[in-house]
């Protein structure tokens, strides 16, 4: 009887050891070499962070709040999974009109457990005549579509430029106050990277798109390049 009990006890301890080893193997570890930071641009807020070690990390969820208490997910970035090399992450939060916003990251492991970063605060200082609030994708095939929120009615001028700032297309549209949709035909553009320059009165904003031959899923990260002349 004692031998049987001892055998079962050893078997139980061995099972616990195997389970502990298994959970140890899937537990994620993330070391941040660069804390979450946010920088304001006319087109939106650019968030950035950097890791120097990741093990079994799956996603970074970007969360935003306007009161510092109630956070909701605004984006999802795929993590490196396993890496011992530095990795930089970026996310552009477009169309922010609140004067003060809070951000944090929710890092998610492969087993579903999560951990939160510290909360950062960004105070809005730029005044915009218009704000790009949505984009269908930055990897475009036939068209680039964006929704623009205008403070007042006016004429929106837009250009398609190459990276050497050579003008490829120029047009304009009458925009009303509030939300307006801009649809730019890209199907005849050769594959490559282009700038979309938007201008209303003295304010200028630029977006960067990538013309591709086959359709991809909408990008979670939006590339940006912005400038403002008195806007």
- What is the pTM for the complete model shown? 0.54
- Give the Cα separation of 123 and 64 in Å (integer): 13
- Give the Cα separation of 114 and 48 in Å (integer): 19
Q: What is the pLDDT of residue 213?
A: 84
For residues 103 and 62, the answer to whether their CB atoms sit within 8 Å is yes
Q: What is the pLDDT of residue 202?
A: 83
- Give the Cα separation of 71 and 65 in Å (integer): 5
Q: Which residue has the higher pLDDT, 21 or 177?
A: 177
- What are 173's strand-pairing partners? 156
Average pLDDT taken over every residue of the chain: 80
- Rounded percentage of the chain residues whose pLDDT exceeds 70: 80
Q: What is the pLDDT of residue 56?
A: 77
DSSP 8-state symbol, 151: S
User: Domains of the chain by range and CATH?
Assistant: 29-123 (2.60.40.10), 130-211 (2.60.40.1930)
- Rounded percentage of the chain residues whose pLDDT exceeds 90: 42
Q: Is a pLDDT exceeding 70 seen at residue 96?
A: yes
75 burial via Cβ count (<10 Å: 0-12, 13-18, 19+): middle
- Picking from 60, 56, 106, the residue whose alpha carbon sits closest to that of residue 81 is 56
Q: Which residue has the higher pLDDT, 29 or 134?
A: 134
- Convert the pLDDT of each residue in 132-171 to its tens digit: 888 888 889 999 999 999 988 999 999 999 999 999 999 9
The rounded radius of gyration (Å) of the Cα atoms in the chain is 24
CA distances from 68 to 77, 108, 124, 153 (A): 22, 21, 15, 34
Q: What is the pLDDT of residue 22?
A: 35
């Amino acid at each position: 009887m004692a031998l049987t009990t001892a055998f079962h006890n050893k078997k139980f301890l061995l099972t616990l050891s195997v389970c502990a080893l298994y959970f140890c193997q899937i537990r994620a570890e993330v070391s941040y070499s660069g804390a979450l930071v946010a920088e304001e641009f006319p087109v939106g807020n650019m968030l950035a962070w950097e890791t120097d070690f990741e093990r079994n990390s799956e996603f970074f969820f970007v969360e935003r709040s306007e009161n510092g208490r109630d956070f909701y997910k605004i984006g999802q970035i795929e993590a490196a999974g396993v890496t011992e090399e530095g990795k930089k992450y970026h996310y552009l939060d477009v169309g922010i009109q609140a004067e003060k916003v809070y951000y944090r990251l929710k890092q998610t492991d492969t087993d579903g457990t999560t951990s939160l970063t510290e909360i950062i605060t960004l105070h809005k200082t730029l005044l915009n005549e218009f704000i790009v609030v949505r984009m269908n994708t930055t990897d475009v095939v036939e068209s680039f579509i964006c929704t623009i929120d205008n403070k007042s009615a006016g004429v929106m001028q837009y250009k398609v430029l190459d990276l050497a700032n050579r003008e490829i297309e120029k047009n304009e549209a009458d925009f009303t106050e509030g939300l307006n949709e801009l649809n730019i035909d890209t199907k005849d553009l050769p594959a490559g990277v282009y700038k979309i320059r938007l201008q209303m009165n003295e304010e200028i904003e630029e977006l960067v798109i990538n013309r591709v031959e086959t359709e991809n899923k909408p990008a979670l990260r939006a590339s940006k390049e912005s400038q403002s002349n008195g806007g």
